[in-house]
């Protein structure tokens, strides 16, 4: 909310019995009891009490700074402007709050939940200072105008918001279940594909390895010397390769020697495999290079596979994405200090079933057909999940700023 918007808002007629009140006159401030605890200390003090920061619960701890019902409002951080998460939180019971959240309690007779919902319904940018590190100081926070309804109407507004949120939460939970089922269906399609059950197949499949069916190569190592090389080419990094997905919005350039080009250039149809990741379910992420960027090379944390005439790259991709392929990748990766890693040698030894080329074409076509339908369904679910976020904000806004707020009449 800009300052002009704030003035415009306060000029709106309120329902009878309502009034605009600066937040500082509406609450008791309990910031004085906040205590920050470093992450290293919290690791040795894990307990049953939630530890709050600017964006909600970030840990647990063995003690508490506040007991009762409070409204916490983030004091600093990008979320003050981006609002990717709620800014105000209602807490009950015993909690620990660090110095990145203001701790407030409404004066007797008024609803803490009403205040929390109202803060989450508005844009506070007019009260935020700083750009590199946005901050909502206590003095600026105290100026925020609150449309204070009579206590009984506050209770009714909170009850209506929570009723609508409950319905919305149920709908979101259903959408999440649908999305989980679609994920399982995708895995079942891929599993059926590599087990020869997705389309009718004839003859025995031969078992082979990726190294026997194609050439496996590592990529370039980034170092200072490359800055002096005159030839600069776009290069692919781990951040560009996901499971059956290329994210090419952020591409960097690097110096490359002419003699390296034969090894490092990626060609359409190459598979790119992520070498290492701290999470076992992310190790071996694989995507098919589509030649979207000409003359592209790859870093050493991406392993490149280029197949010969006997195996379609698209078939190998299906195999590696399937539960069978994923299990094989996770089994050969090793963990060193929590990092799961692959190597050119390990990727070369990964097994692959090889049907005839004609069957590979048919299986890949059927997988593409079914996954295309699936992607459309996932897109629709994601759109509805995104819409639910807008609906949540609309519920809050309408609760306070609809032409006829709950049980209110314009004076």
> Rounded to whole angstroms, how far apart are CA atoms 91 and 70?
5
Q: Does the predicted TM-score (pTM) go above 0.85?
A: no
List all residues 6 or more positions away from 38 whose beta carbon is below 8 Å from its beta carbon: none
* In contact, 1 and 121? CB cutoff 8 Å: no
Query: Would you say domain 3-149 falls under CATH 3.90.220.20?
Result: yes
**What is the pLDDT, as a whole number, of residue 14?**
85
* 146, 21 contact by CB (below 8 A): yes
The pLDDT, as a whole number, for residue 338 is: 62
pLDDT of 53 reads 95
Q: Within a 10 A sphere around the Cβ of 396, how many other Cβ atoms?
A: 20
Two domains, one topology: 3-149 and 206-354 = yes
One-letter-per-residue 3-state SS of the chain: CCHHHHHHHHCCCCECCCEEEEHHHHEEECHHHCCCCCHHHHHCCCCCEEEEECCEEEEEECCCCEECCEEEEECECCHHHHCCCCCEEEECCEEEECCCEEEEEECCCCCHHHHHHHHHHCCCHHHCECCCCCECCHHHHCCCEEEECCHHHHHHHHHHHHHHHHHHHHHHHHHHHHHHHHHHHHHHHHHHHHCCCCCCCCCCCEEEEHHHHEEEECCECCCHHHHHCCCEEEEECHHHEECCEECCCCCEEEECCHHHHHHHCCCCCCEEEECEECCCCCCCCEEECCCCCCCCEEECCEEEEEECCCCCHHHHHHHHHCHHHHHHHHHHCEEECCEEECCHHHHHCCEEEECCHHHHHHHHHHHHHHHHHHHHHHHHHHHHHHHHHHHHHHHHHHHHHCCCCCCCCEC
Please tell me the predicted confidence (pLDDT) of residue 409. 39
Q: What is the pLDDT of residue 408?
A: 45
Cβ partners under 8 Å of residue 40, min gap 6: none
Residue 23 contacts residue 127 (beta carbons within 8 Å): no
Domain ranges of the chain: 3-149, 206-354
* Protein fold of 206-354: Adenine-n6-DNA-methyltransferase TaqI; Chain A, domain 2 (3.90.220)
Task: Tell me how far apart the alpha carbons of residues 123 and 88 are, in angstroms, rounded to a whole number.
Answer: 12
Answer yes or no: are the C-beta atoms of 354 and 208 closer than 8 Å: yes
Per-residue pLDDT of the chain (411 residues; tens, 9 = 90+): 445 555 666 667 788 899 999 999 999 999 999 999 999 999 999 999 999 999 999 999 999 999 999 999 999 999 999 888 899 999 999 999 999 999 999 999 899 999 999 999 999 999 999 878 899 999 999 999 999 999 999 999 999 999 999 999 999 999 999 999 999 999 999 999 999 999 998 888 999 999 999 999 999 998 999 999 999 999 999 999 999 999 999 999 999 999 999 999 999 999 999 998 767 788 899 999 999 999 999 999 999 999 999 999 999 999 999 999 999 998 888 766 667 889 999 999 999 999 999 999 999 999 999 999 999 999 999 999 999 999 999 999 899 876 555 544 333
């Amino acid at each position: 909310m800009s300052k002009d918007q704030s003035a415009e808002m306060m000029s709106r007629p309120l329902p009878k019995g309502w009034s605009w009140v600066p937040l500082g006159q509406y609450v008791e401030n309990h910031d004085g009891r906040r205590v920050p605890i470093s992450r290293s200390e919290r690791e040795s003090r894990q307990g049953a009490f939630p530890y709050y920061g600017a964006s909600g619960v970030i840990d647990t701890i063995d003690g508490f700074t506040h007991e009762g019902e409070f409204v916490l409002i983030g004091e600093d951080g990008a979320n003050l402007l981006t609002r990717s998460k709620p800014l105000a939180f209602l807490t009950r019971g015993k909690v620990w709050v660090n110095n990145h959240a203001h701790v407030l309690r409404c004066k007797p007779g008024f609803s803490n939940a009403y205040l929390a919902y109202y803060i989450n319904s508005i844009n506070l940018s007019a009260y935020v200072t700083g750009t590199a590190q946005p901050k909502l100081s206590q003095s600026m926070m105290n100026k925020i105008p609150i449309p204070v309804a009579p206590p009984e109407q506050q209770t009714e507004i909170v009850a209506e918001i929570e009723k609508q949120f409950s319905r919305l939460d149920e709908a979101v939970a259903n959408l999440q279940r649908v999305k989980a089922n679609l994920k399982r269906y995708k895995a079942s399609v891929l599993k059926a594909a590599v087990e020869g059950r997705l389309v009718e197949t004839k003859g025995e499949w031969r078992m082979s390895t990726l190294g026997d069916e194609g050439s496996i190569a590592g990529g370039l190592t980034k170092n200072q010397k490359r800055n002096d090389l005159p030839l600069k080419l776009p290069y692919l990094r781990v951040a560009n390769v996901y499971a059956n997905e290329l994210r090419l919005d952020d591409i960097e350039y690097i110096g490359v020697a002419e003699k390296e080009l034969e090894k490092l250039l990626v060609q359409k149809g190459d598979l790119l495999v992520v070498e290492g990741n701290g999470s076992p379910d992310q190790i071996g992420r694989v995507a098919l290079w589509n030649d979207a960027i000409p003359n592209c090379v790859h870093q050493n944390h991406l392993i490149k596979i280029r197949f010969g005439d006997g195996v379609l790259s698209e078939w190998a991709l299906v195999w590696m994405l399937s539960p069978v392929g994923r299990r094989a990748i996770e089994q050969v990766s090793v963990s060193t200090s929590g990092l799961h890693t692959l190597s050119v040698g390990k990727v070369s030894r990964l097994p692959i079933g090889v049907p005839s080329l004609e069957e590979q074409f048919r299986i890949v076509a059927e997988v593409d057909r079914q996954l295309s339908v699936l992607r459309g369904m996932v897109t629709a679910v994601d759109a509805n999940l995104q819409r639910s976020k807008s609906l949540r904000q609309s519920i809050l806004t309408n609760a306070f700023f609809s032409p006829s707020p709950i049980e209110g009449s314009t004076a």
